[in-house]
Structure 1
C-alpha cells in the first residue's frame, strides 16, 4: 500500500529522503522539486536495483506532474518489494503552493505528458471524423483511438504516452542528468 505525502509534509523532509521524479526528461528539465532525481517511468524497471539500495538507506518518495504516474511507479516498486511514498498532487501541487522549482539551464517549458496525450488523441479523433467526410470509413481511425483510450484506462498504462515520451522535446536536454547520472547519485 502506498502512503500519500502532501507537499506540506514533503518540504521539511527534502534532503532526508530520496525523491524520485518519474516524468519525462523534458518535463523534469522544465521544472522539478529541488533535489528530485529523474527516473522516467518507462525506465523504472532498469533502476530497481539502485532504488532498492536507496530505500535501504532512506525513505523513497515518488513524484510526477499530478500524481498518476507516481502512483503507477509506487505500485511497480511495491511489486518489487520496495516501499515508497507518493507525493499527492505532484509537482503541480508543489508549484500551486508557491514553492520554487529547479530548472535545467536552457530548458523550455514542456507540456505535462497527460496534456500531450489529450492533444494528440483529440486531434486524431477530430481529423478522423473530418476525413470521413471526404473518405467514408476514415472515422474508424477515431474509433481505434477511442478503443486505445479505453484500453489505456483499463490497464492503467498509456502506449501513446510512452511513444510521446520518446519524441525529441521530451528527451533529455544538454545539462539534464541522464539515468546513469541519477543511478550513480542514489548509489546504483
Structure 2
C-alpha cells in the first residue's frame, strides 16, 4: 500500500510505503524543510492530481534507511556524513515513538544507538524485539558506548544488537560497520536459504 503526506510548510508531497497515518499529523519531519507532514486525504489527492504546477509526489525515502539515536557527548557529524556517503538516507531519532512510526512505513536497514547505558537504548530494543523475526533480521543494530569492547559478541548478544562499538572507535565506524555486516550476512545466509526453501514449499 502507498499513501501520501504533504508538508504544511513547503507544500511538497511525498509517497509512503505502508498504511496512511491514523493521526492528523505525521511526526516524521519533512526532509526538504523540516516542516510538519500531514496525511493527504483521498479527496485532496484526486483534486490536486494533474493540476498544472503541482509536482508529482516523490518517495519520502528512496535509499536504504539509517536511523540514528545519539545521546553521548562525542561528535556525530562525521559518522552521519560517512553513512550518507555509503548510500544511506539518514534520519535522527529523538524518541522511541519515532522509531515506531518509521517502522509502519519503512523497514530501516541500519539503526545506530549511541548511549552510555543500556537503559537508554532499552525502549528502542523492546520495539525492535517485538517485530516478527523475518523483519527484525533485516535490521542491523549498532550500540555505541564507552562501556563496550568493539565487536564484543557476548555483549552484543546480551544487548540484543548486532554489534557494539566503543566510543573511542567512532572515527573507524565505517570500517567496523562493514566488517560487522559481513559477519552478520555470513551467519544469517544459511537461515535465509532455509526460510526461502520453506516458503516455496508452503
Q: Which has the higher contact order (CA 8 A, sep 6+)?
A: 1
Larger Rg: 2
| Larger relative helix fraction | 1
| Larger relative strand fraction | 2
TM-score class normalised by the smaller sequence: under 0.3
TM-score by length of 2: 0.26
